[in-house]
Chains A and B, each alone.
Chain A
Amino acid sequence: MSQETKPKSEAEFYQRDRRLHPPALTPDYKTSVARSPRYSMISLQNSISEMTGPVFGHNDIDPVDNDLISNYAKAGDPVGERIIVHGRVLDENAHPVRNTLVEIWQANASGRYRHKKDNYLGALDPNFGGCGRTITDENGYYFFRTIKPGAYPWRNWVNNWRPAHIHVSVFGSGFVQRLITQLYFEGDPLIPLCPIVKTIPDPDAIEQLIAKLDLNSTIPLDSIAYKFDIVLRGRRSTLFENRLEGN
Chain B
Amino acid sequence: MPQKLDYLRESASQTAGPYVHIGLAPGAAGFDIYEQELGWDIAGPNATGERIRVEGVVIDGIGSPVKDVLLEVWQANANGHYAHPDGGGPVEDGFRGWGRVITDFETGEWAFDTIKPGPVMGRNGRMMAPHLNLWIVARGINIGLNTRMYFDDEAEANATDPVINLIEWEKRRATLIAKRSERDGKPVYRFDIRLQGDDETVFFDI
| Residues in chain A within 8 A of chain B (CB atoms) | 9-10, 15-18, 20-24, 26, 29, 31-39, 41-56, 60-62, 65, 71-72, 90-94, 101, 103-105, 113-118, 129-131, 133, 167, 169, 173, 175-176, 178-182, 196-197, 199-200, 202, 204-206, 208-209, 230-234, 243-247
Contacts and interface: CB of A to CB of B under 8 A. Distances in A.
Interface stretch (B34-42, B49-57, B108-116, B152-160): B34-42
Q: Which of A93, A105, A114, A196 has the most CB of B within 10 A?
A: A105
A16 B10 contact: yes
B1 interface: no
State the 7 A-B residue pairs at the shortest beta-carbon distance, nearest first. A105-B23, A31-B140, A54-B98, A52-B84, A22-B142, A35-B140, A41-B205
B60 interface: yes
30 contacts: A10-B86, A17-B9, A34-B196, A39-B172, A39-B200, A42-B202, A42-B203, A42-B205, A44-B205, A47-B128, A48-B82, A49-B74, A49-B120, A49-B128, A50-B206, A92-B9, A113-B29, A115-B21, A117-B105, A129-B22, A129-B33, A169-B16, A169-B24, A175-B74, A175-B206, A179-B13, A180-B16, A180-B137, A231-B10, A243-B124
B118 interface: no
A209 B9 CA distance: 12
- Most A Cβ at <10 Å: residue of B21, B76, B88, B140: B140
A54 B15 CA distance: 22
Nearest to B16: A180
B206 A44 contact: yes
B13 A22 contact: yes
Nearest to A177: B10
A231 B123 contact: no
A180 B144 contact: yes
B46 interface: no
A180 B124 contact: no
Contacts of A118: 18-19
Contact of B36 (A18, A60, A173): A60
Contacts of B88: 48
A44 B17 CA distance: 27
Interface size class of B (residues with CB under 8 A): 35 or more
A22 B142 CA distance: 6
B23 A131 contact: yes
B181 to A, nearest CB: 26
Contacts of B139: 31, 35
**Which of A55, A131, A233, A244 has the largest count of B CB atoms less than 10 A from its CB?**
A131
Contacts of A246: 124-125
A61 B13 CA distance: 25
Contact of A208 (B12, B16, B163): B12
B104 interface: no
A234 B7 CA distance: 9
Contact of B133 (A10, A49, A61): A49
B9 A208 contact: yes
